[in-house]
Structure 1
């Protein structure tokens, strides 16, 4: 495996989800004579020892969902490194930040252009999100521009549901009603 270590490292840093069977075919073309089982053990038992440890997807999601000015310096550097490795991640980050900007500024004038660029971005989840927005575009536009919110009502509903769950079905409606009124 030693003659192929650097090649394998580079391939797995470029695409950590690259299938082992494709790696096997590539290094066989380069002269590897070992088995697929040996290659699989070599990679998954940590013997490859990748120099660059990639962050967990949950951490990357957090970096993308956070405002750039609120990211720590090392997190911003990590996100920039990943965006350099994967240009698609840069496009996705731009789409997320563009939508977040529209929500926080409550400005829907850029919504049609954002929806078009998001729909043609090639990300299936983003395309599905845009299709959902298009189903009720008037409500989405109103939600982005009008000052009204159903947040207080949703908070009251959540509070009632929590009180109901705390009672575990004991007593009945009169006790639940008292608990709601006392809270």
Structure 2
């Protein structure tokens, strides 16, 4: 009995080799001998017009709960959102009942490599805060243009910038008499964080008004207090007042 060559397990990536040999005039049986495949495998590869057809099966055609959300995932991917966890959170808010794993698998298998329509990256909150708190005359022209474009995507940002600059004007030009009017205007806005700040100012309105009206400041005293506190913590339980006094006087 003639010895047959060992039959190796074929891989779908060999489909291109099968098609190349067929185009060169080799028979299917000859290709099976050359590649160590079974004849049925060569026949299946020769009938496949593209590699993905080799993976067709009943399990691939089953409907899943993700099907209704796939158009949304495709759209968000084209818009530039490539974070599978964020995409899962968005469709979960729309009613998707399953877990994160299915979304991650779909993004990995179907979306990676697809073109995206990525626009300019929006500025960070830190950058916008810096632009608002910087004096307009000190802003670079590029920053000024970006700050002018930002309120288009956030309705309350223009109001926030206006109130922040009004407060900065009071602070730098010592116009504390305007503080009450500023607090009243902030209370009428829909800016919860700024409203909380205004309520805190009202708790000690006289002191804040004085601080915004006079050139004197307790900043130097506060600096010395902050310098002494670490020394007190270091000396706690180790020595008496005399040694602490020497350390305070010498630590300049």
Q: Residue 146 of structure 1 aligns to a residue in which SS?
A: coil
Match of 2:160 in 1: 92
Indicate which of 137, 146, 166 corresponds to 2:205.
137
Distance in 2 between residues matched to 1:162 and 1:181, nearest whole Å: 14
Note the C-alpha offset of 1:179: 2.0
Distance in 1 between residues matched to 2:113 and 2:155, nearest whole Å: 27
Distance in 2 between residues matched to 1:76 and 1:169, nearest whole Å: 55
Q: Residue 147 of structure 1 aligns to a residue in which SS?
A: coil
Distance in 2 between residues matched to 1:172 and 1:46, nearest whole Å: 70
Q: Give structure 1 stretches of 5+ with no counterpart.
A: 11-18, 26-35
Indicate which of 84, 100, 111 corresponds to 2:179.
111
**RMSD value, Cα:** 3.8
Q: Residue 212 of structure 2 aligns to a residue in which SS?
A: helix
- The CA deviation string for residues 38-64 of structure 1, in whole angstroms up to 9 with x for no partner, is 7x949xx89755312012212221111
C-alpha distance 46-175 of structure 1, shift in aligned 2 (>3 A):
farther
**TM-score, normalisation: structure 2:** 0.53
Q: Residue 227 of structure 2 aligns to a residue in which SS?
A: helix
Q: Is the 8 A contact 1:63 1:79 kept in 2?
A: yes
Q: How many equivalent pairs are there?
A: 167
Does the alignment pair 1:124 with 2:203?
no
Note the C-alpha offset of 1:132: 1.4
Distance in 1 between residues matched to 2:92 and 2:113, nearest whole Å: 19
- The CA deviation string for residues 91-142 of structure 1, in whole angstroms up to 9 with x for no partner, is 1001100001011111123222211211111111111111112222222212
Distance in 1 between residues matched to 2:131 and 2:228, nearest whole Å: 34
Does the alignment pair 1:154 with 2:222?
yes
Q: Is the 8 A contact 2:167 2:182 kept in 1?
A: yes
C-alpha distance 63-20 of structure 1, shift in aligned 2 (>3 A):
same
